[in-house]
């Protein structure tokens, strides 16, 4: 058997056919990743850069409205980009790191508002939209949203929760911290 016929047999072997299939596997992997990105974006948990709606104006101090109204609840939740929050005036500061368009984060919004109204003066509720400004996510070292971080009067983190935090569990935690 000469060298030329041996090399032609090697080139036509199934080993090389499998290697040729590899680019097709990469194509299917890339297609799967693209489809996953589309599904996540449609579910509201994709990148914030694709959002078209204008952001809600950030408020750094509460507006005066009748307590218990939806507007009052809105004004008691501090929506901000500022990282220099004063923790000393409240027993606990409840920091929600999420996004306006993330579905689990949207589910946390009414809970945050209720906590802000029910425990006004004792619990400071702060919301950071980390899709609009990722700096708070870096500061608090979060990897998933929503993440709730609880800070005491001294500025020390006392607890952290990732995901939707049911109100009854959140209230139980606050009561353990001395909130009445």
| Active centre residues (catalytic) | 102, 105
Residue 141 near residue 81, CB atoms below 8 Å: no
State which H helix or E strand residue 78 sits in.
strand 77-79
Q: Which of 60, 77, 82, 74 is nearest to 133 (CA)?
A: 82
> Cβ distance 85 to 126 under 8 Å?
yes
What is the rounded CA–CA span in Å between residue 5 and residue 17?
A: 18
Spatial contact of 111 and 178, defined as CB atoms under 8 Å apart: no
Which residue bears the tokens 């708070």?
136
């Amino acid at each position: 058997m000469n060298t030329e016929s041996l090399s032609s047999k090697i080139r036509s072997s199934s080993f090389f056919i499998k290697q040729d299939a590899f680019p097709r596997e990469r194509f299917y992997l890339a297609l799967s990743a693209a489809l996953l990105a589309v599904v996540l974006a449609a579910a509201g948990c994709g990148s914030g850069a694709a959002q078209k709606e204008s952001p809600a104006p950030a408020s750094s101090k509460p507006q005066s409205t009748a307590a218990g109204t939806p507007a009052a609840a809105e004004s008691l939740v501090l929506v901000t980009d500022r990282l220099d929050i004063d923790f000393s005036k409240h027993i606990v500061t409840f920091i929600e790191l999420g996004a306006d368009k993330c579905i689990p984060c949207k589910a946390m919004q009414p809970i945050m508002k209720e906590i802000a109204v029910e425990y006004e003066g004792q619990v400071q509720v702060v919301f950071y939209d980390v899709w609009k400004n990722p700096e708070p996510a870096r500061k608090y070292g979060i990897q998933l949203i929503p993440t709730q971080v609880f800070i005491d009067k001294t500025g020390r983190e006392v607890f952290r929760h990732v995901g939707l935090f049911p109100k009854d569990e959140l209230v139980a935690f606050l009561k353990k911290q001395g909130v009445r």
